[in-house]
Structure 1
Amino acid sequence: MSATLRRAAVVLAASAMALSLAACGSAKEADGDDTPDDKNGDRNDGPLSIGLLLPEDQTARYEKFDRPLIEAKIKQLCSDCTITYNNAKQNSSAQQQQMNSLITKGVDVIILDAVDSKSIAGSVEKADEAGIPVVAYDRLAEGPIDAYTSFDNEEVGRVQGKALLEALGDDARDGQIVMMNGSPTDPNAAMFKKGALSVLEGEVTIGKSYDTTEWKPSEANKNMNGAIAALGEDDIVGVYSANDGMAGGIITALEQAGFDELPPVTGQDAELAGVQRIIAGTQYMSVYKPYRPEADAAAEMAIALARGEDVPAEATIDSPTTEGVPATLVKPVALTVENVEETVLKDNLYTLEEICTPKFRAACEQAGLM
C-alpha cells in the first residue's frame, strides 16, 4: 500500500472511531490504543501539528538559522499550526526516541534532519506505517521519506575544491594537502567529499584524509596535529575542511605548530567565526548556503503533505532505500573576502557590527567593509 493510501486509511479509520466513541472521548482515550489518531477527522483542513527534529547544536546554523526560519515560514503559511521541536545534540538514539514520540503523539507531518541517515530508517518506516509523512531536511534520511530539501551537496564539494585549487595556484603540486571530511554517519559528508575529489584528484597530492567524528572541531584539531606530525610543516600546502567549525580546529593546530604562513583552508556554512577568519586572512573561504530557501521549501513541503496536496519540488532524487523522492536543491556560493558584502551582509545573515568587532576592525577596514 502506498504512503498516500495508508494516510487515507488512517483518516477514515479515525473518523469512524470518533463517531462511535463520541460519548467516551477519542478512541485512544477509550481503549488505550497507542496508534496516532486524527482529532479533526480530516487532515486536509484546520490546524496542523508539525514535528521538527534537528540533529545537533555544535554547528551554529541549526539553532541560529534553520529552526527560526522554518518555524517562521510555517507560521506564515499556517498561523494556527503547532510545532513540536527537538534537537538530538548529535545523539542518534535520542533522535529515534524523539521521532517515536512524535509518532505516538500523532503529529500530521515531521521535518527530519537526521543525525544518522541509516539508523533513523526504522523510525521513518514507523511514521510511514502510521500515515505520517516525513520531509528529509538537509540530510537525505533513509526509509520511505516523502520529500527532501537540501543544497546540491556534490556541488558544495566542487565549490570547495575549485576554491582550494585557485588559492594554491602554481603551488598545487609543490607539496601535499590534508582532507578533513565530515562525519561518516552524515550522507552529506560523503557527497561533499565526492564533489571535492572530482576536482582535486589529479591536481594535488592528498597526503592525509580523515573522516571526522560528529563534525567536532576538537577531532579536526587532533587529526590535523597528526597530519602535521606525519607530513611535516614544510610539506602541507593546503587543507580541505568540509565545514567552518572544523576549520577553526584546524587553524588552531596550524598556528600552534608555528607555520610562518598559514596554508589556505576551506570551510562551509558561513558561520560568523568563519567569516571573521576569512576577513582576517586565516581561513581562505567558506561556502555560503542561503538558509531561507531551504527552510522555506521544508515548511511548504510539510504543509502540502499534511494537507494531502501536491508537493512543491523542482526535481526528484533517489536515496539508498527510496526512489523518485520529490526534491528541492538550493545552489551554494563560494564565500571569500571579495564577496562578503554581496552575500552574508546583503542577505542580512549578519550585521557589519557583528562581523567587525574591535578584534576584526582593522581587517574589515583593509577588506573595504568599513
Structure 2
Amino acid sequence: MRARIRDTAVALLAASTAVAAGACGSDGGGGTDDGDGPKIGILLPDNTTARWETQDRPLLEKEIAERCGDCTVETANAKADVAAQQQQMDSMIANGADALVLVAVDARAMASAVRKAEADGIPVVAYDRLAEGPVSGFVSFDGEQIGRLQGTALLRAMGDDVPGAEIVMMNGDLSDPNAVQFKQGALSVLRGKVKIGKAYDTLQWRPEAANQNMSAAIAALGGEGIDGVYAANDGLAAGSIASLRANQVRPLPPVTGQDAELGAVRRIVAGEQYMTVYKPFLPEATAGAEMAVAAARGEDLGRVADDEVTTRDGHEVPAVTLAPVSVTVNNIEDTVVKDGVYTVRQICTPDLAAACRTAGLT
C-alpha cells in the first residue's frame, strides 16, 4: 500500500437507519429488488461486532440512496458463516446485481465467490477488509497504523511499569487480513519493550472466546502478573474485561480496543477500558457508496480513489485509505460526540453520572 493516507476531517452526522422510500430497498435475508435502476448488494460479515448493523449498514444504504436515486440495495449479514456468505453472494449474482460491497467473513474463502462475480461482469468493492480474488476497489483504514495506535496507547497507560511489564495479546481472527495488520502494527511498537506472556488469535472475533482465553491467561500468569491487555477490538476487550472482573483481578490492567462501540466508550468513562480506536464511519461509508455507485454504473473507480493497494495475487486496485483516531477518556467529546456518533446522554447512563462529570461529559 502506498504511504499516502487521506486524512479525513468530516463532521459526522447521526447515523440514520432509514433509507429514502422508493429510492433504496434493503433485505437482511437475501430478497430481490424490483427497481429498474442499478442493483447494489451489501454483504456484511457478522452481527457480533456492533458496528456492522448499527453504523455501516444504515450509513451505506443512506449514502448509496443519496448518490443514486434509482438504485436498489439488497443487504445480507452472514452471521460469521462463510458458507452463508457464499450463498448470499451467489443469490445476489443470480438476481442481477450490478455491483457488490463485500466485507468478507474469511478473505481467502470468499476468493472463489469474487472470481464468480468477475466472470459474470459484476465488480466487487472490498469494504473494510481486503478480500482475495479480483476485487475492483477497496475502502478501509490503515490497519498497521491502528495497531500502532493501540500499542502506543498501551505503553503510555502502563507508564513507569513498562520496563519488564508482561501483557496478554488478544488478537483478532487472522483469516481477516485486517487482523494480521493490526497485530503487525502493535508488535512493531510493543516488541522489545514488554514481555508477551500469552497471545491468542481469536476465531471469528468472538468475545466469549476472548473471555475463555483471558481466564486461561490468568490461570497461567496470575492476575497480578498481567500488566496490560492488547485487545484488537472492543468485543475482545469486553470479553477480556469480563474475565478479569470475574477472576477478581484488581486493579484492572489497561485494555485497548477498536471500533468505538458504545459499550466500549462507556467502559472507558468507567475506567475499565483504557482506549479504543475510532474509525470514522461516515467517511468510510461515503467512500464505499461512491465506489459502489460508480462500479454499478460502469464508471472508473480511479476517480473515487486516492490510493492503491496490491492484492494477494499482485494486482493493484484503486483504494481509499482513511486515518484512524485513538480515543481515551480525554478526547471522547472531541471525537465520537463531536462527530455525532453518540450523544453525551447515550454515553452517560445514570450509573456513569459521576464518572462523566469527572471526564467533563455534561
- Structure 2 length-normalised TM: 0.89
How far apart are the structure 2 equivalents of 1:256 and 1:104? 49
Deviates more, 1:182-191 or 1:92-101: 182-191
Give CA-to-partner distance per residue, 1:56-94, whole Å, 9 cap, x none: 011110111000111111100011110011000000000
Aligned pairs (5 A) from 1:274-353: 274-311=264-301, 312-353=304-345
Verify the 8 A CA contact 1:182 1:215 in the aligned structure 2. Answer: yes
Q: Report the identity percentage.
A: 56
Q: Would you say 1:193 and 2:183 are equivalent positions?
A: yes
Query: Deviation at 1:272?
Result: 0.5
**What SS does structure 2 have at the residue aligned with 1:180?**
strand
More helix by share: 1
Verify the 8 A CA contact 1:152 1:330 in the aligned structure 2. Answer: yes
1:52 corresponds in structure 2 to 42
How far apart are the structure 1 equivalents of 2:216 and 2:265? 26
Query: Deviation at 1:173?
Result: 2.3
Q: Would you say 1:249 and 2:239 are equivalent positions?
A: yes
Verify the 8 A CA contact 1:268 1:288 in the aligned structure 2. Answer: yes
Aligned pairs (5 A) from 1:111-126: 111-126=101-116
How far apart are the structure 2 equivalents of 1:162 and 1:126? 42
Query: Deviation at 1:344?
Result: 0.5
**What SS does structure 2 have at the residue aligned with 1:338?**
coil
How far apart are the structure 2 equivalents of 1:283 and 1:136? 31
Query: Deviation at 1:322?
Result: 4.4
How far apart are the structure 1 equivalents of 2:246 and 2:113? 44
How far apart are the structure 2 equivalents of 1:104 and 1:273? 39
Query: Deviation at 1:211?
Result: 0.3
How far apart are the structure 1 equivalents of 2:182 and 2:311? 16
Q: Would you say 1:213 and 2:203 are equivalent positions?
A: yes
1:35 corresponds in structure 2 to none
How far apart are the structure 2 equivalents of 1:305 and 1:298? 10
**What SS does structure 1 have at the residue aligned with 2:227?**
strand
**Higher Rg:** 1
Deviates more, 1:300-309 or 1:114-123: 300-309
Q: Would you say 1:156 and 2:156 are equivalent positions?
A: no
Which of 343, 355, 358 is the equivalent residue of 2:350? 358
Verify the 8 A CA contact 1:144 1:322 in the aligned structure 2. Answer: no
How far apart are the structure 1 equivalents of 2:166 and 2:116? 47
Verify the 8 A CA contact 1:174 1:237 in the aligned structure 2. Answer: no
Give CA-to-partner distance per residue, 1:239-296, whole Å, 9 cap, x none: 0000111111111111122222111000000000100000010100000110111111
**What SS does structure 2 have at the residue aligned with 1:337?**
coil
**What SS does structure 2 have at the residue aligned with 1:56?**
coil
Query: Deviation at 1:185?
Result: 1.7
How far apart are the structure 2 equivalents of 1:309 and 1:230? 56
Which of 129, 134, 140 is the equivalent residue of 2:130? 140
How far apart are the structure 2 equivalents of 1:134 and 1:296? 16
How far apart are the structure 1 equivalents of 2:71 and 2:165? 56
How far apart are the structure 2 equivalents of 1:260 and 1:79? 55
How far apart are the structure 2 equivalents of 1:158 and 1:202? 14
Unaligned runs of 5+ in 2: 1-33
How far apart are the structure 1 equivalents of 2:137 and 2:63? 17
How far apart are the structure 2 equivalents of 1:134 and 1:150? 14
> Given residue 266 of structure 1, which amino acid in structure 2 is its aligned partner?
T
**What SS does structure 1 have at the residue aligned with 2:61?**
helix
**What SS does structure 2 have at the residue aligned with 1:260?**
coil
- Structure 1 length-normalised TM: 0.87
Moved over 4 A (4+): none
Verify the 8 A CA contact 2:142 2:323 in the aligned structure 1. Answer: yes
CA RMSD after TM alignment: 1.3
How far apart are the structure 2 equivalents of 1:90 and 1:234? 35
Query: Deviation at 1:308?
Result: 2.0
Verify the 8 A CA contact 1:145 1:322 in the aligned structure 2. Answer: no
> Given residue 334 of structure 1, which amino acid in structure 2 is its aligned partner?
S
> Given residue 353 of structure 1, which amino acid in structure 2 is its aligned partner?
R
1:16 corresponds in structure 2 to none
1:238 corresponds in structure 2 to 228
> Given residue 187 of structure 2, which amino acid in structure 1 is its aligned partner?
L
Number of residue equivalences: 327
Query: Highest relative contact order (Cα 8 Å, sep 6+), 1 or 2?
Result: 2
2:78 corresponds in structure 1 to 88
Query: Deviation at 1:300?
Result: 0.4
How far apart are the structure 2 equivalents of 1:227 and 1:206? 11
Verify the 8 A CA contact 1:173 1:205 in the aligned structure 2. Answer: no
Verify the 8 A CA contact 2:154 2:255 in the aligned structure 1. Answer: yes
